[in-house]
Structure 1
């Protein structure tokens, strides 16, 4: 027995010595090119001997939905149309588009980073025992097969790629929502929603094209800078302030921004918020990829500039009285029972709670920017201020194309001249065009007539102001002459007194 063991060890030793000799000889005597070619050949032979690996992704994991199964189903559904023989077609309630899924035992093959992966969809009947009863249910799962040498790439790159693509597909196909906060929270939900289907886009918004392009570029930069915001230590959000006279298109621009980004909208009614803590709850219950909107913020709460109030002489008693009235709902800037303060709004926009979630746009609108406190207007809270003023010729051409479906007209020179002196909002122009949708020429004629009608009072006012100005000049000259005479009489009297 001992002799046999010794012989075995001697055989192993001889084999190792022979292997080392051959290896040294190959390394020393063969050219490097031949050596590398043989090395690659051996690697391929050993790799070919490795078995394929399969990963099973079931629909349920311990009775809970497997999110990865849903992601794979979405991912393959977007790619299997051209390769699978039998497909299922469906459309979910909250989806905008059709979706395809593979039928049982169908295959789908694709190439990822230069190597092939194979997918199969299986359905088997599974039986479970519970309380002495045997129940059967359908167990659905995907089987992913690939060569063993790509195991690390599958884990680190391919699976994350599937989940990322699936999230983008779901985001594109979802039905977008318009949310509003509830004044009374009967069923525990802070927001109620309806489908968002506003037709406004950047093509239809009546704005200067250069300004529109600037806003679009800013939005694109914002959504693509997740890593930048994380690197500089800022919450992934951006604040817009839209200000200008009523009817200049602030609401239409908000809808266009939401449609451009494909975000949901949360329309926050501050007068329905009873406290700062409820305001925080509303904020953290909003989703990422959303636009939080507060319209006419100067009318919802008293957010006036504290510095101006100090200059105007508001004493401590006046400030205390405003706070008391707001607390009891008797102040015009707030609703009954609302005690939301300026501090609460500032924390809502830029406090610690504002960092919850991500990729969120906050838009405030006002007709009177000068009334708002400077603390609310600073960068970090209102990063971009957009002035929406009266209509100019470039915006008028967009409205003319939207309503009348024309790009040119003989009256355009008159329109351009009148727009320089008459203040008309896009809402004013749109209302006139709506009554002449079927007759573009009549619409342009009515527009010129309306502008000239509005021009007359402005000219009369200017004439009156000019006459008053002339009268004021005459009065001033008379007063100056009287003062001059009084001074001369006074000097003369002093001279007489000195002579006497």
Structure 2
């Protein structure tokens, strides 16, 4: 075995001959590389060899710090945002991001930031580091996204839009649904028309009706139908008109600006809670609420109208503005005129047609012996689609679920009758 091994080892002369041949080839290759090939081709070949072998011998490592982690703000990203502006001396490009967020003070000191794709050199405990900022547009495929304004950081926070409601699954009166779809499709095809008549390419929708009637689901269906992003703005969190201007100028084309509970703007969050209590007790009418003094620093009606009509709306294209409210009668008439709110959509209580759509969607049934008493009850009592949906999710068994819904509507009707009797007694005593 040992003798066989030693007999296979090449002689010294053979090894020397191989070394001489390799050396000659190397010298010839270098001569061709430096004297025959142009410099650009030479650099290209060298770079390819470097890239090929560097992956096996490179000691570098890349850390990816995303702005969002599991749809919430990544605090490591925030820390990097604060730290990197202190290293502007090490920026590799000749550009610098300059901004100002103080609209009330033009002489305020500007803020400096890092442009996209700019590289910054750094060092930590003798280890060289290189920072690079990448835009999500370069790394994330196009998709619907929902953005909510964060007043703490003065920016829109982005999350993947995961509301699956479409016009196909939306429980809504067919005539109203078809009319809305036609209006949206016509709007999306009329860019040249808006340009010709000198108007901003935008459309305004007002969704009004009791809580739980599907206003948010309708907005989701519009977004999915148009393939638009949604900018969800809680106007109560906006400090003043100047901040509103800053917020709106940060939005993009082909998007929906959603301002919910417009009737509660300037009031505290208890406005919505009061509506729910009123709805449960059936005492919406003849009830007066305390009026509160408006903070002078809050967004004003004039400020809101200026941005719906003014320069902001003229600087964007294919924009839909959606206002929602539980009380249309509380809104200033100036907000309701065409050109601001072009289409008013009443999101009302559940009807027999809407109920059948919900039953088909949640129970996969189109006919049942209990449909008739349910439809009759829905004409006698006010039940929101949200309330009906809650009962339809009790069980996957249609017999059990529809029976529960019948009992729910009967209880609701009994409560309504008792309230009517009590009201008549109080009026008689008065």
Give the TM-score normalised by structure 2: 0.61
2:256 maps to 1:291: yes
> SS of the residue aligned with 2:176?
helix
Give the TM-score normalised by structure 1: 0.52
* Higher RCO (CA-CA < 8 Å; seq separation 6+): 2
2:409 maps to 1:444: no
Which one of 252, 263, 277 corresponds to residue 217 of structure 2?
252
Equivalences, count:
281
Shift of 1:413: 1.2
Shift of 1:465: 4.9
Shift of 1:244: 0.5
> SS of the residue aligned with 2:293?
helix
The answer to whether the Cα contact below 8 Å between 1:284 and 1:354 also exists between their aligned partners in 2 is no
2:415 maps to 1:457: yes
Q: Counterpart in 1 of 2:310?
A: 351
Unaligned runs of 5+ in 2: 1-37, 50-137, 268-290
Alpha-carbon separation, structure 2, partners of 1:276 and 1:452: 49
The answer to whether the Cα contact below 8 Å between 2:266 and 2:298 also exists between their aligned partners in 1 is no
The answer to whether the Cα contact below 8 Å between 2:231 and 2:258 also exists between their aligned partners in 1 is yes
Which one of 319, 322, 325 corresponds to residue 366 of structure 1?
325
Alpha-carbon separation, structure 2, partners of 1:126 and 1:278: 55
Change (3 A) 1:467 1:278: closer
Shift of 1:274: 2.0
2:378 maps to 1:378: no
Aligned counterparts, 1:308-457, within 5 A: 322-323=293-294, 326-327=295-296, 338-436=297-395, 438-457=396-415
Change (3 A) 1:352 1:418: same
Change (3 A) 1:457 1:230: same
Alignment deviations for residues 108-146 of structure 1 (CA, whole Å, 9 cap, x no partner):
xxxxxxxxxxxxxxxxx983999xx997579xxxxxxxx
Alpha-carbon separation, structure 2, partners of 1:281 and 1:128: 50
Shift of 1:466: 5.4
Change (3 A) 1:343 1:137: farther
The answer to whether the Cα contact below 8 Å between 1:240 and 1:386 also exists between their aligned partners in 2 is yes
Change (3 A) 1:464 1:232: same
Shift of 1:271: 2.3
Change (3 A) 1:295 1:135: farther
Alpha-carbon separation, structure 1, partners of 2:322 and 2:203: 9
Alpha-carbon separation, structure 2, partners of 1:301 and 1:261: 31
Alpha-carbon separation, structure 2, partners of 1:341 and 1:440: 50
Alpha-carbon separation, structure 2, partners of 1:272 and 1:457: 38
Alignment deviations for residues 295-327 of structure 1 (CA, whole Å, 9 cap, x no partner):
11121336xxxxxxxxxxxxxxxx9x935xx13
Alignment deviations for residues 4-44 of structure 1 (CA, whole Å, 9 cap, x no partner):
xxxxxxxxxxxxxxxxxxxxxxxxxxxxxxxxxxxxxxxxx
Shift of 1:238: 0.5
Alpha-carbon separation, structure 1, partners of 2:42 and 2:339: 59
Alignment deviations for residues 131-190 of structure 1 (CA, whole Å, 9 cap, x no partner):
xx997579xxxxxxxxxxxxxxxxxxxxxxxxxxxxxxx9xx6122111112123xxx72
**After the TM superposition, which of the residue ranges 173-182 and 416-425 deviates more from structure 2?**
173-182
Alpha-carbon separation, structure 2, partners of 1:445 and 1:412: 10
> SS of the residue aligned with 2:362?
helix
> SS of the residue aligned with 2:40?
strand
Change (3 A) 1:463 1:218: same
Alpha-carbon separation, structure 2, partners of 1:468 and 1:274: 45
Alignment deviations for residues 408-463 of structure 1 (CA, whole Å, 9 cap, x no partner):
11111111111111110011011111111x21111111111111111112223334
Which one of 215, 232, 242 corresponds to residue 277 of structure 1?
242
Alpha-carbon separation, structure 1, partners of 2:388 and 2:422: 28
The answer to whether the Cα contact below 8 Å between 2:236 and 2:265 also exists between their aligned partners in 1 is yes
Unaligned runs of 5+ in 1: 1-124, 139-169, 303-318, 328-337, 476-500
Alpha-carbon separation, structure 2, partners of 1:388 and 1:363: 13
Change (3 A) 1:396 1:126: farther
> SS of the residue aligned with 1:242?
strand
